[in-house]
Structure 1
Amino acid sequence: MATIDQPAPKDSKKPRARPHKFHLDMTPMVDLAFLLLTFFMLTTTFAKPRVMELVMPVKSPILTPIKESGAMTIILGKGHRVYYYLGLNAPKDPSVPVPVLHSTNFGPHGIRQTLLTQRVSQQQRQLGPVFVLIKSGLGAKYADMVDILDEMNITGQSKYALTDLSLADRQLLPPTER
């Protein structure tokens, strides 16, 4: 409750009208505020959690061979950097050339554009779908893995696998990433 009292001036010789006391009761406004607050809290819908569906294959002792022409390896690095190369890295096989490592990011013209370009190229050459090998570098964050899995869903990649970073792949990376 708020009350404002103003004393009448005593020095005046003229009779003046006596000021009225002002009284403001805040109780109804507080009640209304709490009623509105509870109404909006109870009638809102909360954001539903979005879940990414990830199907993991059954472990099998039989390894599936991958064609070099249909493979693409993505390595997640420090500072949200993405490194990739086309083909396979097989340093023990002299018939397989050493791949050329490219660097990009998670921006709209980064890894997404690369995945889409590679997919269209494979379709034009009628080589089948691209098989993407995803490897996490030493400085990669969990958010990078989530981002690359999102990119796989956005670009419609049907075949991809999460694999370990080999020593041969680590030697392809820049010295700051090893």
Structure 2
Amino acid sequence: MQNLPKKVRSKKLSSRVDLTAMVSVSFLLIIFFMLVGELSKPKVMDLTLPAKYSEEEWGHVIRCGVGIDDRLITILLDENDKIVTYSGLLFYLEENPKILNYGRNGIRKELGIKTGIIRERLAQSGRSNRGPIVIIKPSKKCNFKNLIDILDEMAIAKIDTYAIVNDFTPEEAKLLASK
């Protein structure tokens, strides 16, 4: 017989693919998306707004002892970092409204003084578990930074009860315009 050339068979390659690197990349992607999803959730601050009142309800206030009007501190925020503050109800003011600025010697000092006075009055009347009530009223010209700054001041002064209200009475609008 003749020497016939042998058929050369092709070598079978392994059909197995190494997925080790793919598994590590997929775990890294899963961890990344879980982290990004958790960090992108909005942070929320609890906020309680008081019910709106009418002028008829507050037109005939009878003052007796330490009432809610003795605990009120109203802060009006205006443009150019301007703060106007007064204590009590606007039509029964014990002292003139003050123009203040932010910081240690401005609103923080005033809040400390007012809080001390209010807590002393409440302790004398036997209601030492209560504190001041601060109403924050940002005007339309006030910027967001000022609102955040005043909320920081509430935390620094340790005032627990405060509300942000966006409606001005005509008297408060005149007060802001005059100061």
- Smaller-chain TM-score range? 0.5 to 0.7
Partner-residue secondary structure (3-state), 2:80 = helix
Q: CA deviation at 1:151?
A: 0.6
Higher relative contact order (CA 8 A, sep 6+): 2
Cα distance per residue 1:78-133 (max 9 Å; x no partner): 1111110111124xxxxx34862100100211101111111111122226311101
- Is residue 132 of structure 1 aligned with residue 134 of structure 2? yes
Contact 1:106 1:112 in 2 (8 A): yes
Compare the two structures and name the one with the higher helix fraction: 2
**Percent pairwise identity:** 23
Aligned length: 122
Which structure 2 residue ranges, 5 or more long, are not aligned?
Answer: 1-38, 59-66, 124-129
Kindly provide the amino acid, as one letter, of the partner of residue 87 in structure 1.
G
- 4+ residue stretches of structure 1 with deviation over 6 A? 58-63
CA distance in 2, matches of 1:142, 1:67: 29
Q: What TM-score, normalized to structure 2? A: 0.58
Which structure 1 residue ranges, 5 or more long, are not aligned?
Answer: 1-47, 91-95
**Which residue pairs with 2:151 in the alignment?**
149
CA distance in 1, matches of 2:114, 2:44: 24
Q: 1:87 to 1:80 in 2, by over 3 A?
A: same
Kindly provide the amino acid, as one letter, of the partner of residue 55 in structure 1.
D
Cα distance per residue 1:55-88 (max 9 Å; x no partner): 123887899x972111010001111111101111
CA distance in 2, matches of 1:160, 1:101: 19
Kindly provide the amino acid, as one letter, of the partner of residue 68 in structure 1.
D
Q: What TM-score, normalized to structure 1? A: 0.58
- Is residue 118 of structure 1 aligned with residue 144 of structure 2? no
Q: 1:99 to 1:174 in 2, by over 3 A?
A: farther
Partner-residue secondary structure (3-state), 1:173 = helix
CA distance in 2, matches of 1:62, 1:170: 17
